[in-house]
Structure formats: structure tokens, C-alpha cells
Amino acid sequence: MGEISSAADLYRETGFYLIANLFVLPFGLVSLWLLLRFGLARWLSLPPRGLPALARAGALDFAAGLGNGLFLLGFAVLPALALGAYSPARPGWQAFEPGLRLIDNQVRLGSKLLFLLQSLFEEALFRGFALSLLALLLLWICSFFIPRSAGGRVWFFCCLSANLVVSLAFAAVHSRNPEVSPIALANIALAGYWLGALMLWQRSLLGAWSAHFIWNFALAILGLPVSGIHFSAAQYGIGIAGAQPGLLSGGAFGPEAGLPVTLGLLALSIWYTARSWKFSQEALAHDHHSTANALSDRPGGPAEPHTASPDGTRGDQAD
């Protein structure tokens, strides 16, 4: 997303992302479906979910993403706000130069639509398309020399590796943003990893999309820079006009160049990595249990263990 200094720029960017999503979103959704259909089904053999279950899960995933984004926002902004890093009285305080200064109802509506489309585009491209296909490729390679009995670990580590690679690419795309710094790039890579881990755990793009959207949109309405881009003055009568440079506030790049967001992203990344590991192990245990039950029902399969009766005879011989 480039600099936006007028309503015409806002509508132009919105139109660009609308058209871009028409091309990118189908590829992202199909890639994720392929990962779940051929990667997850092969290594963990999970049963497919019906349409009502998918609808319920989708609503919960979207809500969870919003909660994640708001949690991260509080983690990133509240310490700087409490310690006065946004106060004009602090030494070195610098005013932001927002692109949009005149805020009306059309701009408010347009900014919501822009960030919805922009976040959907990036999630479909990086998490839906790139992450899913790379993970599927790694799983396919592993299928030649790793037994299926190691399915949970193979699924986890292939997805983990793909997520790390795509997260670095996600940061590289932002390397030319205004006011970028090494910690800003590290945080963007960490944000990419968190969003990827969230997608893999939910097996859906909805949570990553809503988390990405609410983060970008909330920064914009507060008047804070979004990845170094000064989108607008404060909306809805609230906002922050500038910041003291440094690791507390992130300075001109915004909270994404601050240490508080690093801690928040680490917490979220560790949480969803642990949840993904637990999911892979539980799904594998379920798969092994189902396989054992299926084998016991087949002719020639494992026999049920014999139990002893109180008088010492085998259960199958007791009268």
C-alpha cells in the first residue's frame, strides 16, 4: 500500500485491491484446500467437516482473529501511552504527517473497505498461496522417505519450515517501506509467522485475515503509522498526533518498530506453535486409534485380548 494523501488515492488503492483479490484469492483458497486435502489427509487422516461445522468454525475463527489483533494492539500501544511516549511534552517528540487530513464519513467507510481488501490480499497471497503450496511441496518430498506413522511430526515440521520461509519473504516485501529499521523488519517477519501459525492451527484464512485487518485499521484510526505509512489523521475524535522516537513507541514507522509489539508477537507465536504441535499429536493419536479399531474388525486382524474369569478360566471359555 502506497502513500494516500487524498480521497482519490484512497479509492484508487481500494479499486486496485478489489481487482487484485479477484485473481489472488481463488489461488490462495485452492492452495489451502490442496494442503488440507492431500497434505493433512495423508499424514493425519482427519475426517472432513460438514458445512454446518465449517460455518460455525469460520465464525469462531474470524472472531478469534479479531481478538488476537486487539490483544496485540493493546500490548503494543498501551505501554507507550502509559509511559508518555506519545506526549508532545516528551523530548524529541515528532509529529506524524498523515496523508489524509480531512476525515468524513466517506473516508471512514473507504478506509474500512481498503484495509479489509488489503489484508485479504496479503493473507491470500502469503498464507493461502505461498505457505500452503510450500508446505504441500515439503510434505510431498517427505512422503518418499518418511513413513506415514510419523505423520504428526512430519506435518508440524514441514508447515513450520514453510511458515518460516514465507515469513521472511513477507518481511522482505516491506523492506522498502518508509522509516523501516532492522527491528521493524524483524517484527514484520514475526507477524508473518504468527499469522501463518494462526492459519495452520485454524486450517482457515479467516482468523489471519481478521487479525491483519483489525491491526492495520485500528492503527489508522488512532492516527498511528501503518508499517511506516502515515495513513490519516485520527478518526472518530481520537488518536495520537506524534511519538517520541525509540523502541517504546516505534517512532515514525509506528508500533511495528517497537519492542512491546515484539513481546506480544512472541507470545502469540509461541502460543499458536504450541497449539499446532498439540493438534498434530492429538490428530495422530486419533488416527492410530482409528486404525487399530479398523484392523481389529477385519478378518485376520488383531484379536481382542482374552480376559480371565473369576475362577481362572478364560473369558471366552466360561459358560
Query: Is 81 among the domain residues?
Result: yes
* Spatial distance between the Cα atoms of 57 and 202, rounded to a whole number of angstroms: 8
Residue 100's pLDDT band (boundaries 50, 70, 90)?
A: confident
Specify if 296 maps to a domain.
no
Mean pLDDT, residues 83-98: 87
301: pLDDT strictly greater than 50: no
How many structural domains is the chain composed of?
Answer: 1
In a domain, 302, yes or no: no
pLDDT digits (tens, 9 = 90+) for 185-240: 999 999 999 999 999 999 899 999 999 999 999 998 898 999 988 888 777 777 78
pTM for the structure as a whole:
0.85
Is 122 part of a structural domain of the chain? yes
pLDDT of residue 316: 41
Q: Is residue 304 part of a domain?
A: no
Average pLDDT, whole number, for the chain?
A: 84
pLDDT tens track for 227-286: 988 888 777 777 788 899 999 999 999 999 999 999 999 999 999 999 989 888 876 655
pLDDT score at 134: 97
Is 313 domain-assigned?
no
Q: Is there a domain that residue 2 lies in? A: no
- CA 174 from chain centre, in angstroms, equals 17
HEC profile of the chain:
CCCCCCHHHHHHHHHHHHHHHHHHHHHHHHHHHHHHHHHHHHHCCCCCCCHHHHHHHHHHHHHHHHHHHHHHHHHHHHHHHHCCCCCCCCCCCEECCCCECCCCHHHHHHHHHHHHHHHHHHHHHHHHHHHHHHHHHHHHHHCCCCCHHHHHHHHHHHHHHHHHHHHHHHHHHCCCCCCCCHHHHHHHHHHHHHHHHHHHHHCCCHHHHHHHHHHHHHHHHCCCCECCECCECCCCCCCCCEECCCCCCCHHHCHHHCHHHHHHHHHHHHHHHHHHHHHHHHHHHHHHHHHHHHHHHCCCCCCCCCCECCCCCECCCCC
Residue 13 included in any domain: yes
pLDDT tens string 147-190: 877 778 888 999 999 999 999 999 999 999 989 999 999 999 99
99 pLDDT above the threshold of 80:
no
pLDDT at 117: 96
Full residue range of the structural domain in which residue 193 is found: 7-46+61-291
